[in-house]
């Protein structure tokens, strides 16, 4: 390996920006390249939950059966676009293999350790840097309009309790003590304190601003087109703006990571899992959003699989997981279902002004754990990708872990379950 010390980070979403921040904190020269602009991908319009308590992976016992039922419903929150795609078939096979009790329990422990570490890093970041991104720690309230659905969720609550994640089971009155502005149809709730929330795009831009102030070079409109390699080393990264010859390369391109890795003949089992968000203006009452009828904390509309997050002067609804490849189009039928179904739980929806509709790709791995670690194939390549539904939650700890890998420090979290090689 040559004596250069500079590091090239590929991808300007929450993961790439957090990696750049922690590397420059170590005094390393860092360049981040991004094909569009900073925060153009999944990190932009998501639900903004720092969801430490959301530790049951998507790959869990019973999920394939439920998934099959949803596939038959055109408005359901989960769909797969049928197509002859070997990578998708392999992914589905590996997903099915991960849907067992042992793997689920292992993933819960890993997700909780990543989530707790991220909570600590948010506190540390806010104590040491001047930046504002609407971070609040108010927990999350799951709403139910159906007693059977509520009862069905209780085993999950009991399971998480084994791992120290506590939550409160609520009747109709208990729900209204925490969030009074719900429809009469809401009969039960579960409140979990282990959640924070942020304005996701503001977070990424603020962190990028601070990283830039410390010396990170950001190059936008710069797409990776290929690589030159020499033995087990990447010797240069070919981009639309010329070649880079860094000492180390960090691949943090979210759902696009497998397309980039393919240039290195590496297979990363990551599928773009499309989700939607609809954003409204949050109504103000008496000059204050606090006194308005808008929810004051994040909600989950349980039976409809819709997340609702207050974000400053906005209220965002997110839902849906579509395995449809790299197709950003928006399914209007599903969107109409999100708008309609929200009214079952929340009053005054008809009066809200809709300001944006968005789709983004969660970078989903078959076992719902990210891929973080040095590549076994290339000595100077570090993978930091595949964060699925929890990239905003795990962004800071991922940045920290990558800085520890590059600094040859002992990682603060065991990286064995996160290695890419677990899939081979």
Ligand X SMILES: Cc1cc2nc3c(=O)[nH]c(=O)nc-3n(C[C@H](O)[C@H](O)[C@H](O)COP(=O)(O)OP(=O)(O)OC[C@H]3O[C@@H](n4cnc5c(N)ncnc54)[C@H](O)[C@@H]3O)c2cc1C
Give the footprint of ligand X on this chain (CB under 6 A). 10-16, 33-36, 40-43, 46-49, 51, 223-224, 252-256, 260, 275-277, 318, 360, 362-363, 385, 387-393
Tokens for 123, please give them: 């506190």
Q: CB 171 → ligand X: shortest distance, Å? A: 27
Q: CB 70 → ligand X: shortest distance, Å? A: 16
Closer CB to ligand X, residue 271 or residue 385?
A: 385
As a whole number of angstroms, the distance between CA 363 and CA 321 comes to 11
Closer CB to ligand X, residue 247 or residue 359?
A: 359
Residue 360, SS3 per DSSP: strand
Q: How far is CA 199 from CA 95, 179, 190, 232, 388, in A?
A: 31, 21, 24, 40, 18
Residues 413 and 382 sit within 8 Å (Cβ to Cβ): no
Q: CB 200 → ligand X: shortest distance, Å? A: 7
Tokens for 296, please give them: 């004051």
Q: CB 109 → ligand X: shortest distance, Å? A: 18
C-alpha distance across the termini of the chain, in Å? 27
Closer CB to ligand X, residue 121 or residue 392?
A: 392
Residues 85 and 349 sit within 8 Å (Cβ to Cβ): no
Q: CB 204 → ligand X: shortest distance, Å? A: 8
Closer CB to ligand X, residue 172 or residue 259?
A: 259
Q: CB 43 → ligand X: shortest distance, Å? A: 3
Pick from 224, 328, 259, 260: which is nearest to 87 by CA?
Answer: 259
Closer CB to ligand X, residue 188 or residue 362?
A: 362
For the residues of 216-266, what is the DSSP string, one character each?
-EEE-S--EEEEEEETTEEEEEEETTEEE--SEEEE--GGGHHHHHGGGT-
For CA atoms 48, 55, 110, 413, give the dihedral sign: positive
SS3 sequence of 152-200: HHHHHHHHHHHCCCCEEEECHHHHHHHCCCCCCCCCEEEEECCEEECCH
As a whole number of angstroms, the distance between CA 396 and CA 71 comes to 35
Q: CB 203 → ligand X: shortest distance, Å? A: 10
Cα-based angle 365, 369, 372 (whole degrees, multiple of 5): 95
Closer CB to ligand X, residue 175 or residue 253?
A: 253
Tokens for 198, please give them: 């942020």
Helix (H) or strand (E) holding 14: helix 14-25
Closer CB to ligand X, residue 254 or residue 295?
A: 254
Closer CB to ligand X, residue 171 or residue 354?
A: 354
Q: CB 187 → ligand X: shortest distance, Å? A: 25
Q: CB 78 → ligand X: shortest distance, Å? A: 13
Closer CB to ligand X, residue 38 or residue 146?
A: 38
């Amino acid at each position: 390996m040559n004596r250069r010390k500079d590091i090239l980070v590929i991808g300007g979403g929450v993961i790439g920006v957090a990696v750049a921040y922690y590397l420059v904190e170590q005094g390393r020269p860092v360049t981040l390249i991004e094909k569009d602009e900073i925060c153009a991908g999944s990190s932009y319009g998501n639900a903004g939950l720092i969801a430490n308590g959301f530790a049951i992976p998507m790959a869990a016992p019973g999920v394939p059966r439920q998934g099959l039922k949803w596939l038959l419903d055109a408005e359901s929150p989960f769909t797969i676009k049928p197509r002859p795609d070997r990578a998708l078939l392999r992914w589905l096979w590996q997903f099915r293999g991960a849907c067992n009790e042992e793997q689920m329990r292992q993933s819960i422990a890993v997700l909780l350790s990543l989530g707790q570490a991220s909570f600590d890093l948010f506190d540390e970041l806010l104590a040491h840097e001047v930046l504002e991104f609407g971070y609040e720690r108010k927990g999350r309230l799951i709403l139910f309009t159906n007693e059977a659905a509520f009862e069905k969720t209780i085993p999950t609550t009991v399971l998480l309790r084994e791992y120290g994640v506590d939550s409160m089971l609520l009747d109709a009155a208990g729900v209204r003590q925490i969030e009074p502005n719900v429809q009469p149809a809401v009969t039960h709730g579960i409140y979990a304190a282990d959640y924070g929330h942020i304005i996701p795009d503001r977070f990424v831009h603020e962190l990028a601003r601070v990283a830039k102030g410390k010396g990170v070079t950001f190059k936008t409109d710069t797409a990776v087109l290929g690589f030159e390699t020499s033995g087990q080393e990447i010797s240069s990264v070919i981009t639309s703006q010329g070649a880079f010859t860094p000492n180390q390369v960090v691949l943090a391109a979210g759902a696009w990571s497998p397309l980039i890795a393919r240039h290195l003949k590496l297979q990363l089992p990551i599928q773009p899992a499309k989700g939607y968000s609809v954003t409204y203006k949050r109504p103000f009452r008496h000059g204050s959003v606090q006194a308005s009828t808008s929810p004051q904390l994040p909600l989950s509309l349980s039976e409809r699989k819709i997340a609702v997050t207050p974000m400053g002067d906005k209220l965002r609804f997110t839902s849906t997981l579509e395995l449809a490849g790299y197709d950003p189009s928006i399914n209007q039928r599903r969107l109409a279902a999100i708008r309609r179904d929200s009214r079952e739980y929340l009053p005054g929806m008809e009066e809200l002004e809709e300001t944006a509709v968005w789709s983004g790709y969660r970078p989903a791995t078959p076992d719902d754990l990210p891929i973080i670690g040095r590549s076994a194939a290339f000595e100077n390549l570090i993978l930091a990708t595949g964060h699925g539904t929890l990239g905003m939650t795990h962004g800071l700890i991922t940045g920290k872990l990558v800085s520890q890998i590059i600094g040859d420090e002992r990682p603060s979290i065991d990286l064995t379950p996160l290695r890419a090689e677990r899939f081979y």
